[in-house]
Structure 1
């Protein structure tokens, strides 16, 4: 198969969210809230268990009152905020303004790091004439993250679940992305880290390739190994 287009997932594939510890520390500093080390460590542990950081650890338990919003969280900006601020509010933090501040922090470019080989692989694909799209289950506009990290000029199309009211693995999202690129799905590879969500592209006839969902430091060359571009491995 000649690859004419590649679709990439965002979180865990091209970029990785910061750890809960630095997420919380940044927001506490921003709001001028001081806590003792023991309390800080407790907040980190409880926020991790709650799954309060989008793109971070999954919730160990989703309360019944949040179950519906969490299940459909990526279908709208409102549901996404409701789900994640609701999960965070299970943790008793010292300032009630912290819940919204934490949510806002995760939407900033500073909270995200590209994987070490992301720029290289995207650049090589772009230079070879391969069309590139991003398909993400997300509740906010990630385009500023790509711009801030100097990668936006390499992306031809963004298909974000909250803008279309459907989330992966729904094949409609992948079909929309292929249409935006002007390509038949059989000419397109979908790259992601979630075999359930990203694997939905296979129903259209896309080839699907996976990377491991790992911290940035532990996956320096995962994208390079996928055989997307000759000479990049």
Structure 2
């Protein structure tokens, strides 16, 4: 895992390290997507519908680790599922596992109140990105496309399953910073989990945690931060 993002939308060419970029966590911050109450059962059901003989001890096998990974690394869920099946003596084609996992986590998307306005305010301030912990390939992009958010406002979309690292690992924040063309210490990251999203502060960036403020407060907070860091006589962002 080299930490380089493989999912970047409208990758920025801005390399000015003083330019602030705003990144958002996705699930729980911008959108709500209810996961299955029992992921093992949901994946097992989708496997069975695709002709796979699901082992009787599937729930136990699903709950056990099967893929060695370094601290902070993301293990793609299809890799985990495939390895769990192999541990039970069941071989399944990769494309079947991919389809079953995608279907198991396919759910309606609800855009959170004030999310549209928060993203628009971030776009006015500078570069905008999504940095989301998600082990299901394609789920972040699918949720964004189904939401009420304007996809055109996002300069980069990075999921842990694509860059290889999970927040709060520094390499996750570095991946989205690189995609946005800024230094990691220039990131303002908005999220709902102090344990993961708050990790930006250890990288020298700024966290806006929804424990302390609501999404409706994000535009005012961004304005305040911009005024505090703006040089005398400075105009708008040189990269937007």
TM-score of the superposition, structure 2-length normalised?
0.58
User: Is the helix fraction higher in 1 or 2?
Assistant: 1
Larger radius of gyration: 2
Who is 1:76 aligned against?
76
**Could you report, residue by residue, the CA deviation over 1:45-75 in whole angstroms, capped at 9, with x for unpaired residues?**
xx49x8979xxxxxxxx95762325997943
How many Å apart are 1:148 and its aligned residue? 2.8
Q: Match of 2:222, SS?
A: coil
Who is 2:27 aligned against?
11
* Superposed structure 1 runs of 4+ greater than 6 Å apart: 50-53, 70-73
How many Å apart are 1:119 and its aligned residue? 0.6
CA distance in 2, matches of 1:12, 1:114: 10
Q: Match of 1:166, SS?
A: coil
How many Å apart are 1:169 and its aligned residue? 1.5
Higher relative contact order (CA 8 A, sep 6+): 2
Q: Does 1:115 align with 2:123?
A: no
Contact 1:121 1:229 in 2 (8 A): no
CA distance in 1, matches of 2:221, 2:110: 22
Range with bigger deviation, 70-79 or 203-212: 70-79
Closer, same or farther: CA 5–105 of 1 in aligned 2, 3 Å: same
Who is 1:135 aligned against?
131
Contact 1:81 1:103 in 2 (8 A): no
Closer, same or farther: CA 228–5 of 1 in aligned 2, 3 Å: farther
Who is 2:144 aligned against?
146
CA distance in 2, matches of 1:135, 1:67: 27
Who is 1:229 aligned against?
222
CA distance in 2, matches of 1:182, 1:132: 11
Gaps of at least 5 residues in structure 1 are 21-43, 54-61, 87-99, 213-220
RMSD (CA atoms): 3.6
How many Å apart are 1:165 and its aligned residue? 2.0
Contact 1:201 1:208 in 2 (8 A): yes
Gaps of at least 5 residues in structure 2 are 1-17, 44-58, 86-98, 225-240
